[in-house]
Chains A and B, each alone.
Chain A
Amino acid sequence: MPNISQMMTALSGAFPLGGMDIAFYVVAAVMLFTALLTVAAKNILQSAVFLIFSFVGTAILYMLLHAEFIALAQVMVYVGGVVIFVVFTILLTSHLGEDAFSAKIPRTFAAFALAIAFVAIMVKMILPIEALQAATPNAPEGYASLNAFALRLLSYGTDGFVIPFEVVSILLLMTLICSITVARKDKEEQNREQSKEVQK
């Protein structure tokens, strides 16, 4: 019978951060699997659902990095917002399952080559960073907590981001107003539609 304490030391050698490391590998594997399914699924709606699981995996990765607010923002924006709207548009527009799209071989090959090149470059860029190899957390305790986060967003000076924050909020306001103007029916259009219905 193998000695359990030896096994545990061996395990802790393989995973220096304990549960965190194991969680990272599990989440990463699930993310890769769901990402693969997103591309491979024949049905577009299934792809969207697997995309959601992949995003949730990303959120868990952020959480493992102690960036809780970013993780929740990821879930809020991508799962609660973007992908729900994607699902909505899919439900409202296409005839699902009738024409499952098939990619052309040369295009697939090109995409494959591009993806592999991208991964290779990423790995090559990331590996030499010594701080990552040593894996010592750089930020002080509570750097990414909600209070510190909000205060940094609203303060100015070297550590503040109030100007980018305001610029982004104005951008969002502009988008909102634009979308309302695009979606709004003006009086003439409404009258025309009503007269059409009357004619019918």
Chain B
Amino acid sequence: MFVPSITNPIGDVVREWVPKLAEYLPVAIQSETLNSIVAFLVNAVICVIAVCAVNIGSAPILIYMERKVCAHVQCRLGPMRLGWHGTIQTIADVLKMLFKEVYNPGGVDKIMYYMAPLIVLIAPFMVAALIPFGPTLVVADVDMGIPLIIAVNGFGVLGILLGGWSSNNKYSLLGALRSGAQMISYEISFAMILLFVVMITGSTNLMDITQSQSGTVLDWMIFKVPVIGFIAFILFFISSTAEMNRAPFDIAEAEQELTGGYHTEYTGTPFAMFYLAEYIALVTNSALATTCFLGGFHAPCIGVAAVDTYLNMVPGVVWFFAKVYFMIWCYMMVRWTFVRPRVDQLMSFEWKFLLPVNLVMLVIGAIYVALF
């Protein structure tokens, strides 16, 4: 009845065990349909837990990593006191954030105020469900992967606009408007680069995109199309940084000018949710970059059989997360390396440089597909 498009060992175990356990039930209740429905629901719950574990579990790691990377870039040590090299510090941070009082300023629109952090979390969670973490590890193997990612990204803008407006604070509203304008503009080039990838691979399914990069390192999208692939990767990097509102494109929450942007008035758990959404977006965008450009869960084979057998012995998930964390490290280094551009510089960079270059890239990609 409910047959998954990609078989997964855990799902198979559940489908095997549910009928066995059902035999202990009274005969009147037993039926094929019920078994398949229950197995489907159990698998769905497992998928939800898995997505939550990957997303929420990576947030403390990223907070720790960000502090350490930042500290070492600035020739400091970062957190060192609590636990080994300050590892317990992030747990203390998370607990502090969760136990803070949740309150709202006077005169806010309460429905909108508390709905905004929830809406912001929609997009990263949806994208995380689409990403193939391993050959059999994907929650939703849908044909419309890339269009779905482009579609749900709109919710992030909405959440930020609502949060900024409902805070009843001029700084928040200004931050939200800036951030909304920035995200809408950079979403276009983000989508265009994803379309370039779709054009080269000929599929919008993220699993197909990954499988088309199997082989050696030279088969990865970044090297597969000579030079253009690398340019596309850089463009993706820039537009995703801006789309996530991360520094150097964090004019939306520029502390010196806007005290913190759209989440100025948020405290406690709602603030933690905005923060979480930002870090999950970091993970999902890195995972997207990995899937589309760095070969996904494929091992970095170099074409020498003796080395490749050892590399292939490592499971795909490990390679995937290694690449994801490398990408995250790149995002963090960029954050602590470059200075923040002005608002008008940021917008003219997108509309006058990035977008035309993206259009040219699409044309070149079409020529490449037609010729080779």
Interface residues of A (CB under 8 A from B): 3-5, 8, 43, 45-46, 49, 52, 68-69, 72-73, 75-76, 79-81, 83-84, 87-88, 91-92, 96-97, 145-146
Give the docked Cα–Cα distance between A43 and B31 (Å): 51
Are the CB atoms of B109 and A80 closer together than 8 Å? no
Interface residues of B (CB under 8 A from A): 28-29, 31, 33-34, 109, 111-112, 115, 142-144, 147-148, 150-155, 157-158, 161-162, 165, 173, 176-177, 180, 184, 187, 204
Chain B interface mostly: helix
* A52-B158, A68-B143, A146-B144 known; A76 vs B150 contact (CB < 8 Å): yes
Are the CB atoms of A84 and B165 closer together than 8 Å? no
Residue in A closest to B31 when the chains form the complex, CB atoms: A5
Give the docked Cα–Cα distance between A75 and B153 (Å): 10
* A45-B112, A79-B158, A80-B154 known; A4 vs B144 contact (CB < 8 Å): no
Are the CB atoms of B109 and A46 closer together than 8 Å? yes
Give the docked Cα–Cα distance between A69 and B143 (Å): 10
Give the docked Cα–Cα distance between A91 and B161 (Å): 9
Residues of A within 8 A of B161 (CB): 84, 87-88, 91
Are the CB atoms of A72 and B158 closer together than 8 Å? no
Residues of B within 8 A of A84 (CB): 154, 157-158, 161, 180, 184
9 smallest beta-carbon distances between A and B, as pairs: A80-B154, A75-B151, A76-B151, A72-B147, A72-B151, A4-B29, A79-B154, A68-B144, A87-B161
Q: Could you tell me the distance in whole angstroms from the C-beta of A10 to the nearest C-beta in chain B? A: 14
Q: Report 6 cross-chain contacts, Cβ distance below 8 Å, ordered by A residue.
A: A45-B109, A45-B162, A68-B142, A80-B154, A84-B154, A91-B165
Are the CB atoms of A4 and B204 closer together than 8 Å? no
Residues of A within 8 A of B142 (CB): 68
B155 in complex: contacting residue of A46, A69, A79, CB < 8 Å: A79
Are the CB atoms of A76 and B147 closer together than 8 Å? yes
Besides A76-B147, A88-B161, A146-B204, 11 other CB < 8 A contacts? A5-B29, A45-B162, A46-B111, A49-B162, A69-B144, A73-B147, A79-B154, A80-B150, A80-B157, A97-B109, A146-B144
Residues of A within 8 A of B147 (CB): 69, 72-73, 76, 146
Residue in B closest to A1 when the chains form the complex, CB atoms: B28
Are the CB atoms of A8 and B151 closer together than 8 Å? no
Are the CB atoms of B29 and A87 closer together than 8 Å? no
B187 in complex: contacting residue of A5, A69, A75, A80, CB < 8 Å: A80
Residue in B closest to A97 when the chains form the complex, CB atoms: B109
Residue in A closest to B166 when the chains form the complex, CB atoms: A45
Residues of B within 8 A of A92 (CB): 177
Give the docked Cα–Cα distance between A53 and B269 (Å): 24
Give the docked Cα–Cα distance between A68 and B143 (Å): 9
Q: Could you tell me the distance in whole angstroms from the C-beta of B358 to the nearest C-beta in chain A? A: 15
Residue in A closest to B191 when the chains form the complex, CB atoms: A76
Give the docked Cα–Cα distance between A55 and B290 (Å): 32
Are the CB atoms of A46 and B112 closer together than 8 Å? yes
Give the docked Cα–Cα distance between A80 and B147 (Å): 12
Residue in B closest to A6 when the chains form the complex, CB atoms: B28
* A4-B28, A5-B31 known; A49 vs B155 contact (CB < 8 Å): no
Are the CB atoms of A75 and B28 closer together than 8 Å? no
Give the docked Cα–Cα distance between A68 and B148 (Å): 9
Residues of B within 8 A of A79 (CB): 151, 154-155, 158
Q: Could you tell me the distance in whole angstroms from the C-beta of A76 to the nearest C-beta in chain B? A: 4
Residue in B closest to A142 when the chains form the complex, CB atoms: B143
Residues of B within 8 A of A49 (CB): 112, 115, 158, 162
Give the docked Cα–Cα distance between A146 and B198 (Å): 12
Are the CB atoms of B154 and A8 closer together than 8 Å? no
* A72-B147, A81-B154, A91-B161 known; A8 vs B34 contact (CB < 8 Å): yes
Residues of B within 8 A of A80 (CB): 150-151, 153-154, 157, 187
Of residues A43, A49, A96, which shows the largest number of chain B Cβ atoms within 10 Å of its Cβ? A49
Are the CB atoms of B165 and A45 closer together than 8 Å? yes
Give the docked Cα–Cα distance between A84 and B183 (Å): 11
Residues of A within 8 A of B28 (CB): 3-5
